[in-house]
Structure formats: structure tokens, C-alpha cells
Amino acid sequence: MRSFKLRRDWIHGWLLLLPALVFLFAFTHIPAVTTLINSFFSTPRGRRPSKFIGLDNYERMINDPVFWKVLWNNLWFAIGTIPVSVALAIVMALWVNEKLAGRSFVRMAYFTPTVLPLIAVANIWMFFYTPGFGLFDQITGALFGWPASNYLGNPDTALNAIIVVTVWKEAGFFMIFYLAALQAIPVSLKEAAQIEGAGRWTIFWRITFPLLMPTTLFVCVNAVINSFRLVDHIFILTDGGPDNASALLLFYIYEVAFRFWETAYGATLTVALLILLSLLAIGQFFFFDRKVHYK
């Protein structure tokens, strides 16, 4: 009787889990495993079925200069976007947390870029960057008499131009999390510090910032994921060019898999991305865990 009841509980439990499990497997685990398997096979073409080729795809990846270039670009993209957007988010959150005139308007203004789809954002910035009659050139031309620029068409500036758009888009989103966190910090802590004679900087550095650490962890994990995930604007702004100067890893994967139709090599690159992301996520949790103070 008891074992029967146990088994019923057991079935009951699994049934409750089933819907979530089905989705988790159908959209996460099975595709990931299939991708891994595909990376060991050649790309099937209509007239030539795929065959097992072992590590050939991985060898090709190691020898592919474009792969290393996009990986390097991605590193710069991460270095360029994460610290700046997080720092900006903190500054903006601190500012709109104060009592100031038109506070909700400023908050909304900061948050607007987040609401816009990235494709729309890219089209707006496309106009900003346009050589000659774009917004930036009109301003710098009228104020300083600068010549027409070509930020997107120059391999030295294309990636930076993309980084600026990303920071603009992301900072407002992270600000919302910091704003929520700031409002959860008890005022009494700040007041106590003020009685002790602490200055604004000391209060921020010793009280506010440490208490924001859980949020910073969350935001950083998101920012790292985003630095590998956000590629929509590249399609509009540069299409990865010139000569792959602004291509990122995910963009390259799309290009290989759905433009060149080399699905097997695309799968191999995806495995590389998966490994990279898991390493980063694990690393971040270990690194931050020591510094984060949960209440």
C-alpha cells in the first residue's frame, strides 16, 4: 500500500513536471545535442548526403581566419559594451533616483531605447552615421567644419560605431534594475553614515555599491550574454563589413548557416559559442560569488 502511494506521488510529480520538461527538451536540450552531433558530419547537399567526418569541421574552424577575427571582434565588443553600459546605467540610476524636476520624463527618456526594437534603432543610427548628410556630419560640419566622415565604411571605426549603438540601447535597460535596487536600500543606512560624517563618495563606495552587487551580478551576466546575442543591428548597419571588421560570432554563424548553407560548419561554430558561453557563465558566478553580499 505504501509503495503504491509512493509510486502515485512519483507519477504525479513527473506529470506536473512534464509540460516544462517537454519544452525544455524540445527547444533547448535536443537542439543542443543535435547541433553537437551535426558538427561531426559534413553538410548534406541535395545530391550528396552527409557523412561522418570526425573532427574535420573543428580543424577547419581552427584554421579559419574569419573565425578568429570574429572572435577577436566579439572580445572587443564585450570589452567595449559591458563596462560602459553598466557604469552608465549606475550613473543614470543614481541621477533619476534623486529628487529632480521632470524625474519621470528623464526616466522615460533613458528607458526609451530599450523599448525600441534593435532593427528600428539600427535604422535611426544609420541616419546618424550617414556620411555627408547624416546627423553627426551635419553637426560636426556646422560647428567645427569637419569633413564628411565614414564611420561605418572604415574598418577601424565600424566596430566602435556598432559598440556605441549597443551601449545606447542597453544602458537604459540596466538602469531599470539599478533603480529598483537603489529603492530597496534602506535610507537609514545612508542617514547613519551621514551622521558619522561620511561624504557622498564614501557613501556610494562603501554602502550603495556593495549593496548593489547582486544587481551588478545579474546585469553583468545579462550584459555578457547580450554581447554574444545582440547582432540584429549589424545586419542593418554594416552587414559585417568591411571585410568582416564588424562581424561578431553569432552574425558569422548566421552567415555560414543561412547564407552559405553550410549547416554542418554552422553547427560547429555554434558548439564553440555554447562552450564559450557556459565557461563565461560559470566563471562569472565563481568570480562574483565572493564579492556579492546577499541580504
* Phi and psi at residue 69, to the nearest 5°: -65, -45
- Residues in the interface with another protein (CB under 8 A) total 31
Which CB atom, from 177 or from 254, has the smaller least distance to another protein?
254
CB of 152 to another protein, least distance (A): 7
Rounded distance between C-alpha atoms, residue 84 and residue 171, angstroms: 8
CB of 3 to another protein, least distance (A): 46
Binding segment for another protein among 2-10, 43-51, 191-199, 266-274 (CB under 8 A)?
A: 43-51
155 counts as binding another protein under rule CB under 8 A:
yes
Among 14, 27, 72, 258, binds another protein (CB under 8 A): 258
CB of 126 to another protein, least distance (A): 7
14 counts as binding another protein under rule CB under 8 A:
no
Which CB atom, from 154 or from 222, has the smaller least distance to another protein?
154
CB of 61 to another protein, least distance (A): 15
Alpha carbon distances (Å) from 209 to 29, 83, 248, 254, 295: 37, 15, 32, 39, 14
Among 72, 261, 285, 287, binds another protein (CB under 8 A): 261
3-state secondary structure the chain: CHHHHHHHHHHHHHHHHHHHHHHHHHHHHHHHHHHHHHCCECCCECCECCCECCCHHHHHHHCCHHHHHHHHHHHHHHHHHHHHHHHHHHHHHHHHHCCCCCHHHHHHHHHHHHHCCHHHHHHHHHHHHCCCCCHHHHHHHHHHCCCCCCCCCCCCCHHHHHHHHHHHHHHHHHHHHHHHHHHHCCHHHHHHHHHCCCCHHHHHHHHHHHHCHHHHHHHHHHHHHHHHHCCHHHHHHCCCCCCCCCCCHHHHHHHHHHHCCCHHHHHHHHHHHHHHHHHHHHHHHHHHHCCCCCC
Place of cell 559534413: 42
Which CB atom, from 137 or from 170, has the smaller least distance to another protein?
137
CB of 78 to another protein, least distance (A): 23
Binding mask 45-84 for another protein (x = CB under 8 A): xxx-------------------------------------
CB of 147 to another protein, least distance (A): 4
Among 118, 152, 234, 273, binds another protein (CB under 8 A): 152
242 counts as binding another protein under rule CB under 8 A:
yes
Those residues whose C-beta lies under 8 Å from the C-beta of residue 241, and which sit 6 or more positions away, are 158, 247
287 counts as binding another protein under rule CB under 8 A:
no
Which CB atom, from 63 or from 188, has the smaller least distance to another protein?
63
Which CB atom, from 2 or from 259, has the smaller least distance to another protein?
259
Q: Restricting to residues 125-144, which ones interact with another protein according to CB under 8 A?
A: 126, 130-133, 141
186 counts as binding another protein under rule CB under 8 A:
no
Which residues lie near another protein (CB under 8 A)? 45-47, 126, 130-133, 141, 145-148, 150, 152-155, 238-239, 241-245, 255, 258-262
